Structure 1
Amino acid sequence: MSASAPISDHVVPVTNAPKMPAEHLRRIVGTPPGALMKLLTRPVFAFITWLSPESRDALARFVGNLAYTLGIRRRVVMDNLARGLPEKSDAERRDIARGAYINMSRVVLESIPGGDRLPADWGEQGVVGQEAWDALRARVATGKGVLLVTAHFGNWELLGDMMIRWGVGIDALVRPLKGALNTRIAENRLGCGAGLIYPRGAIQEISEAVDRGESPYMLLDQALPAKAAVFVPFFGRLASTTPACAVAAQRTGAPVYVVMGVRGGKGARFRLEVEGPIPQPAPGECADPVTEHTARITAALERCIRKYPDQWMWLHRRWKVQPPASTDAKS
């Protein structure tokens, strides 16, 4: 089912408790903040948590507008937009850029509070891609995991919380974290019931998680070193992308779903958009099934981002890693 399917007119109910992650996935790996940094950030986190959602959103808009006005990484953002959305006018791209800064500020401020951080109205607008969501939930109900893919879009942290609230136990693929903010986010992930899978031995961990009925949850829109990546089209250019999802799909046979938490017209409103399962290439269909499957998944991400471009992280240097000359020549 395409992610552009009509919006359902009902709220998705919570029908079953999510599968809890394996105990060895409930750990934080990385460099924790020092004592001084903990002391300095504790009152800041407490203040942000104390703020009402409306006040937090107003602060996010102020910070995002300020960062855009000061020009922080603005050259990167505008270059990405000019190359990725050449059909847009300069004014439209500036509006998208400003929205992207505000969205990133919202993500940070919404991700700091602990406990149940989800807006009460999440899902009241229904699900886009209802058939795909129903198929995903039906498989999870049998005790089998799926492979979930998203992007740095909307609020991917709250999207993970939402999946758990709605009965899908997730294990988030993460890198070892540094700093007080990243540690706080990791603690919140564990607090909402997610597991954490780190790069070392990730494919084996993903496979075992699927066998246990857990659903690995990964972001596929960050640049990787060329030797660890496959290069697939993304907004008209080849982008280095992790093949982990496609490799795991080959190994486990688990279906792949793209899930996106779309921010609505008001800062605190969200809805879920789902596309999938994203099919693997048929035997003999192409020379490189992993790259082709990764390209199909990435295309689904792009379709959603094009609908709501101000909700994606254009601040990231997504195309900074160049493909080998042989790969580029074939594209």
Structure 2
Amino acid sequence: MSEQSALDDPHAQPARKLGDFLTNALIVGIIRLALALPYALRVRFVGWIVERIIGPVAGYKRRALRNLEMIWPDLPEARRAEIATRCLNNVGRTFIENYSARAFPRRMAKVTPHGPGAQALEEAVAEGRPVILVTGHFGNYEATRAALVARGYDIGGLYREMKNPYFNAHYVKTMEAFGGPVFPQGRRGTAGFVRHLKGGGQLVLLFDQHVQYAPILDFLGEPARTALSAAELALRYDALLIPFYGIRQADGLNFECVLEAPVPHTDATTMTQALNDSLAARVREMPEQWFWVHRRWRADEP
């Protein structure tokens, strides 16, 4: 590594590496404590920790409130606060559910995904046609993949590597535990990702985060940079593009898994806007289940 690249690499800086190490140690401590508890208690426990402690201290609640005020300025302040609080609780529950590598898939194996996309998926697999399943950070985005894998589908995933390398190492293992290959975003994972798709496989993509230099599309009435990659892959490999959602139920522990009708093949921008519109409809119906903590609207940035 050259001197300049070492300076540019934040993990080459001792202070940053120590901070990453300590942060990961705290997270691992919470995970281990939670996993020692019975399943229902652990899910409620981590939901509470993120809602009451981590979310406010880390600034996630402030960011969620800021996003909510921008999107729904006429909503009463008390209602925005309620949505932000319940959003944080859902984030915490989702986190520990996805680390419950045995209990969570076992629960999801009992759930039957439904909706027009479920039959379309079954028919595509029978024909050997590739399928791209697309969702956002809503409910628990891994719930439906776990339910489908339990039914014999070989569903791969694409993930964005975490900035903290210590955390990333065990984060990837949680996704692999659900079954199906997982691939990192970028050149390193592209070859395997495309091979799986071209072979008639199924892949899951999350599309609702800001992507630098991506086209600006509408999301919840505001401009948001949105990657076209899911639609572009669907067009390139004649893959079905199916929006899906793992919707948390009122008890906070169970899920409904819905596969919507496939998005018609037109052009990448139109198809991606359809995905944004699909997610926006879900968010308007159940705003507490979307991750308002993301910096989603940064269209003024490149």
TM category, shorter: 0.7 to 0.9
Deviates more, 1:205-214 or 1:247-256: 205-214
Which one of the candidate residues 215, 219, 226 is aligned to 1:230? 215
Distance 1:136 1:86, change over 3 A: farther
The CA distance in 2 between the partners of 1:115 and 1:274, in whole Å, is: 24
- Tell me by how many angstroms 1:74 deviates: 2.8
Which one of the candidate residues 70, 76, 79 is aligned to 2:63? 76
Say if 2:233 is the partner of 1:248. Answer: yes
Task: Encode CA deviations 1:215-271: one digit per residue, 9 max, x unaligned.
Answer: 121100000112xx1211001011111111111011011110011100000121101
Given that 1:48 and 1:112 are in contact with CA atoms closer than 8 Å, whether structure 2 keeps it comes out as no
Deviates more, 1:194-203 or 1:258-267: 194-203
What is the TM-score of this pair, normalised by structure 2? 0.82
Distance 1:104 1:40, change over 3 A: closer
Distance 1:194 1:85, change over 3 A: farther
Say if 2:302 is the partner of 1:320. Answer: no
Which one of the candidate residues 34, 38, 63 is aligned to 1:48? 34
Given that 1:123 and 1:270 are in contact with CA atoms closer than 8 Å, whether structure 2 keeps it comes out as no
- Tell me by how many angstroms 1:157 deviates: 2.8
Bigger relative CO (Cα 8 Å, ≥ 6 apart): 1
Higher helix share: 2
Given that 2:130 and 2:200 are in contact with CA atoms closer than 8 Å, whether structure 1 keeps it comes out as yes
What is the TM-score of this pair, normalised by structure 1? 0.76
- Tell me by how many angstroms 1:203 deviates: 5.8
Say if 2:265 is the partner of 1:280. Answer: yes
Say if 2:35 is the partner of 1:57. Answer: no
Which one of the candidate residues 190, 199, 203 is aligned to 1:212? 199
Q: Which residue is equivalent to 1:96?
A: 83
The CA distance in 1 between the partners of 2:301 and 2:32, in whole Å, is: 44
The CA distance in 1 between the partners of 2:61 and 2:130, in whole Å, is: 40
SS of the aligned residue for 1:238 comes to strand
Given that 2:46 and 2:93 are in contact with CA atoms closer than 8 Å, whether structure 1 keeps it comes out as yes
Percent of matched pairs sharing the same residue? 24
Q: Which residue is equivalent to 2:144?
A: 159
- Tell me by how many angstroms 1:163 deviates: 2.4
Task: Encode CA deviations 1:163-195: one digit per residue, 9 max, x unaligned.
Answer: 211232222111234344433231122232221
The CA distance in 2 between the partners of 1:297 and 1:95, in whole Å, is: 27
Across the aligned residues of Structure 1 and Structure 2, the Cα RMSD in angstroms comes to 2.8
Distance 1:99 1:45, change over 3 A: closer
Unaligned 5+ residue runs, structure 2?
Answer: 1-10, 12-16
Distance 1:203 1:233, change over 3 A: farther
Say if 2:124 is the partner of 1:139. Answer: yes
The CA distance in 2 between the partners of 1:290 and 1:152, in whole Å, is: 21
- Tell me by how many angstroms 1:42 deviates: 5.8
Distance 1:220 1:42, change over 3 A: closer
The CA distance in 1 between the partners of 2:102 and 2:232, in whole Å, is: 34
Say if 2:181 is the partner of 1:195. Answer: yes
Task: Encode CA deviations 1:15-43: one digit per residue, 9 max, x unaligned.
Answer: xxxxxxxxxxxxxxxx9x99x76877666
The CA distance in 2 between the partners of 1:184 and 1:210, in whole Å, is: 25
The CA distance in 2 between the partners of 1:88 and 1:295, in whole Å, is: 25
Number of aligned pairs? 282
Given that 2:114 and 2:258 are in contact with CA atoms closer than 8 Å, whether structure 1 keeps it comes out as yes
Deviates more, 1:174-183 or 1:240-249: 174-183
Deviates more, 1:243-252 or 1:62-71: 62-71
Distance 1:79 1:66, change over 3 A: same
Distance 1:87 1:164, change over 3 A: farther
Given that 2:108 and 2:147 are in contact with CA atoms closer than 8 Å, whether structure 1 keeps it comes out as no
Deviates more, 1:150-159 or 1:230-239: 150-159
Given that 1:74 and 1:315 are in contact with CA atoms closer than 8 Å, whether structure 2 keeps it comes out as yes
- Tell me by how many angstroms 1:207 deviates: 3.7
Distance 1:71 1:183, change over 3 A: closer
Deviates more, 1:152-161 or 1:253-262: 152-161
Unaligned 5+ residue runs, structure 1?
Answer: 1-30, 282-288, 325-331
Task: Encode CA deviations 1:83-104: one digit per residue, 9 max, x unaligned.
Answer: 2234532222111111111011
